[in-house]
Amino acid sequence: MEQSIHELVERQRAFFRTGETLPVSWRLAQLKKLRACVLRHREEMERALAEDLGRAPLEAYFCDIGSLLQEINETIRSLRRWARPETHLSGLLCFPSVLTKVYKMPYGVSLIISPYNFPFLLSLGVLTAAMAGGNTAVLKASSKSPRCTELLQRMMAESFPPEYIAVVGGGHDQADRCLAERYDKIFYTGSPRVGVHVLEAAAGNLTSTALELGGETGNWCVVRKDADLKDAARKIAFLKLLNSGQVCININQVVVAEEVAEPFLRELEAAFTSQIGTDAPNNSEYPRLISAAAYDNCASTADRYRDRVRFGGFGDREKRKYAPTVLYPIDIGEEIVNRELFNPLLPVVPYPDGEIEKLLDTIDSREHGLALYLFTKDVPWAKAAMQRLQFGGGGINEVCLHMMVKGVPFNGVGHSGMGAYHGEWGFREFTHPSTVLIGSNRFNLPLREHPYQGAWKQKLVEWFER
């Protein structure tokens, strides 16, 4: 198996060196093939998402398929502009070499390691950026979503030769075999713990690496006492129900002003009941957890906080569905708010609204999350807070939709990741800028050359470099 992966990487390297991926027209043709492939297999993708994750067709399209098509379409429309070389004036110091070009060059052979929670968007969405940049790609898909991985393998095999695009299945051992090879670019989406392992493997070859991670201490949501509690509860419930909480930008914990904690909890219970009913495990629209182990972890965590379950707290192990569960009151120092949950449990932490700055200091002192959400009528305060804290992205009086805005980056920072993608940011992530000055063999001044004696050279250089 190691030999076959090695041979695959070497075949891709040989193909890249032919230069076939360089013309923008060729890249656009491949992106159109990718779009056609997704459209052709839409129903199969919906069925695979239902089998692996229990997704309803609308949620499957909204989260994976539609978002992916939007990403591909934006790239097709804009790639010629993104890839166009930049022209800069070289400056007086470089005279008579007047022009400098910046070329956007592909890295070469890329490795994309994708997770199970959005198995098409977080694989083919990243692949879109890699293809736009002119790279080849080995895509390591998750073994936890086997139906989706099998379909990805078939889709890519029917659309592209393996020396250009190839999908590798299997578990962690297979991922390690992939990481043992030398690549020119690595893009990993997953947990901070595995992110460290990926970086260690990449460091051996000084490989440029992008990481999109969930955040070690989770994503914070703050509800202030002046917030529209009904609106906040409705949006928080929507996001927590999405994919049964298995979303990297999901809310890990809500911190609510203690002055409005009880009415907020009532609104939250009403929002969950309105959207999914009182028996979520038997609701066909409610997604399931990815594995029995994930279910058991969720259920055992809820059991440890059994005396503080305010809503939910039950599930069906056979169906791998655990109801959205509100835990209250939770202290900000407890273990459950110091790790990413990745399930439908929602700890709610009360705090005095007058101590909001102290709360922000506490959040800032922990590992940076991938998302931050603030609910308040004081939008100027919220804007200032957003510019003070370190996190990937977020929303003021809104949740999760920031990642669907065209033209903006999706990224993390610190323990929630490095690098960025979506749209032009993805193209930039999979290309490196090469600066090339176009020289002249006429009218060259001897300023840079020995001998350096003479005040006139000193004065001219100082004037040119003002």
**Residue 424 neighbours by CB under 8 Å, 6+ apart:** 78, 82, 407
Residue with tokens 């939770």: 330
> Other C-beta atoms within 10 Å of 274: how many?
11
DSSP β-ladder status, 371-375 and 220-223: parallel
Backbone angles phi, psi at 136, to 5 degrees: -90, 170
85 token code pair: 């070389």
**Residue 164 neighbours by CB under 8 Å, 6+ apart:** 12, 15, 21, 30, 136, 137
422 token code pair: 């979506």
Q: What is the separation of C-alpha 135 from the centre of its chain, rounded to a whole number of angstroms?
A: 19
CB 184 within 8 A of CB 431: no
**Residues 252, 438: Cα–Cα separation, whole Å:** 53
Q: Which of 306, 307, 233, 220 is nearest to 263 (CA)?
A: 233
What letter would DSSP give residue 19? T
- Kindly provide the b/e burial profile for residues 334-362, where b requires at least 16 CB atoms within 10 angstroms of the residue's own CB: eebbeebbbbbbbbbbbbebeebeebbeb
**Residues 322, 319: Cα–Cα separation, whole Å:** 9
**Residues 330, 302: Cα–Cα separation, whole Å:** 12
**Residues 103, 134: Cα–Cα separation, whole Å:** 13
**Residue 355 neighbours by CB under 8 Å, 6+ apart:** none
Cβ burial, residue 100 (10 Å; 0-12/13-18/19+): middle
Name the residues annotated as catalytic: 212, 248
- Strands (E) in 312-448, as ranges, are 315-316, 321-322, 325-327, 345-351, 371-375, 393-396, 410-411, 417-418, 420-421, 431-437
**Residues 328, 408: Cα–Cα separation, whole Å:** 36
